[in-house]
Amino acid sequence: MSTPIIHQTAAEMSADLASGSVTAVELANAHYDRIAAVDGDVHAFLHLDREGALAQAASVDASRKAGEKLHPLAGVPLALKDVLTQKGVPTTCGSKMLEGWRPPYDSTVVANLKKAGVVILGKTNMDEFAMGSSTENSAYGPTHNPWDLSRIPGGSGGGSSAALAAFEAPLAIGTDTGGSIRQPAAVTGTVGVKPTYGAVSRYGLVAFSSSLDQAGPCARTVLDTAMLHEVIAGYDAKDSTSINAPVGKMIEAAKKLDVKGMKIGVVKELSGEGYQAGVLTRFNEALDLLVAAGAEIVEVSTPSFEYALAAYYLIAPSETSSNLARFDSMRYGIRIGDDGSRSAEEVMNMTREVGFGKEVKRRIILGTYALSSGYYDAYYGSAQKVRTLIKRDYEAAFAKVDVLVSPTCPTTAFKIGEKSDDPLAMYLNDVATIPVNLAGIGGMSLPCGLAPEDGLPVGFQIMSPALKDELMYHVGGTLEAALQSKWGKPLYASAPELAVK
């Protein structure tokens, strides 16, 4: 029995499109049928652009029929996190503040996708303004993990990861400020990559924390993620933080499947106390597979990582308080209470009270306090010094090893509502992912099995030096192949099939 088209990898869909055994329109419609069948349970999408997607698909089919040379991903569907602008398509960032806003321009990521002929199905759910680790902070309701609908799909990009795990799309775009691509990938059994900071343009990405935010590719396999990475990466003059450097050969690296002679460092501080037993079991089994493939495993200590979480929750809220000041009802966002009887300040206060959710307000207040007169040096300034120490720890580690590894998350997916009243417990979900963002280096999460306690996916994190993202794909592709050889099938093929109602 052949694999249903929606269960194929993006690479397989690409091959079928090229051979003519399926059209882009047929492929898009198959995914819309799947979304109609299961998204009532999953709630991965906030908006579907069926008309625009089918028009894009028809254009790809016409170009292919005319014999034009097309990008390998032309006609392959994709789910887009609702924090990136797409011309004429609602972009809410999961917030009431931007409800109904239709951007007049495309983000550079979207422009690159369109240029390649990728078909954008719609916009995915997320924690409001990307602030959260569970997608419970969305103003439009939580997304559910396809592996267990009572559990979170990670955050802030839970909609993108859930769409992949539920076979609603083969590709997705996420953004990662402190783990918002990698943590959702880990708990949904998918692959997610946070590229080197500046390797993918932030133009058109609605800012949360400008020195940390980074868009990146998500998929069900390492190769598919590599293919998408090469589409969206590259220098962009519209982004002042964009790095003018060649895009690496991610696809080639993902196909190497050989780590002989490589040194892989296990971060001592990110793989011990506080981690679920089953997570460590699967992580250590993955290490054994890398040893069998020829790698040398070395334990590495990064003492400054102990302070990464605290530093992050000073830097990110500080930048948030600055970035979200623009949503003041005067320039951007909705407007509440403007009946002619109230002052601009009153309208602004009423708008921000209604437009922002609890977590966004918490971080704005924290950031405003950290930046206030008399506290700047003690808080924000000190956090930036810790950030420098973390970068130095990485530099020292990469002088000894090719890549660093750790579990992506301390635990598997928790129940919806389980941690919503405990911000610190929620923040601890990102303890292993945050250092990567503070240093601006690359990070990948790929599935390494199911935890024996609960049968839920476990993520394996690979970290590479800045501008050496190919190393993540090299090691990730090798590990993925070894795991699939061990299991006899890819992990995503084990994902529970949602009932079609």
Q: What is the pLDDT of residue 345?
A: 86
pLDDT score, position 497: 64
What is the per-residue pLDDT for 2?
60
The fourth-level CATH superfamily of domain 9-304+388-494 is Amidase signature (AS) domain (3.90.1300.10)
445 among known catalytic residues: no
CA distance 215 to 251: 18
Whether 1 has a pLDDT exceeding 80, the answer reads no
- Average pLDDT for residues 269-284, to the nearest whole number? 93
| Residues whose CB is less than 8 angstroms from the CB of residue 487 and which lie 6 or more positions away in sequence, other chains included | 449, 494
Task: Give the pLDDT of residue 501.
Answer: 36
180 an active-site residue?
A: yes
The pLDDT score that the predictor gives to residue 498 is 66
Q: Which residues contact 34 (CB under 8 A, 6 or more apart)?
A: 6, 166, 167, 168
Q: What pLDDT digit, counting tens, does each position of 318-371 carry?
A: 999 999 999 988 878 888 888 888 988 888 888 889 989 999 999 999 999 999
Model confidence at 500, pLDDT cuts 50, 70, 90, reads very low
What is the average per-residue pLDDT within 376-385?
A: 92
Instruction: Over range 273-298, report the average pLDDT.
Output: 96
Check residue 491 and give its pLDDT.
Answer: 86
* Cis amide linkage into residue 485, ω under 30° from 0: no
Active site residue 249: no
**Percent of the chain, pLDDT > 70?**
99
H/E stretch holding 116: helix 108-116
Average pLDDT for the chain: 95
Determine the residue type at 181: I
- CA–CA distance, 484 with 223 (Å, rounded to integer): 14
pLDDT of amino acid 415: 97
Q: Which of 180, 242, 271, 318 is catalytic?
A: 180
pLDDT (0 to 100) of residue 477 = 98
Catalytic residue of the set 14, 107, 138, 156:
156
Output the pLDDT for position 328: 85
- Pick from 290-294, 365-369, 377-381 the range whose average pLDDT is largest: 290-294
Global pTM value = 0.96
499 pLDDT tier (thresholds 50, 70, 90): very low
Pairing type for strands 191-194 and 403-407 reads unpaired
In DSSP terms, 233 is beta-bridged to 200
* pLDDT, mean of residues 122-142: 97
Q: Name the catalytic one among 81, 96, 194, 419.
A: 81
Q: What pLDDT is stored for residue 351 in this prediction?
A: 84
**Among 184-198, 288-302, 423-437, which is the least confidently predicted range?**
423-437
Q: What is the pLDDT of residues 29-67, one digit of tens each?
A: 999 999 999 999 999 999 999 999 999 999 999 999 999
The single-letter code of the amino acid at 22 is V
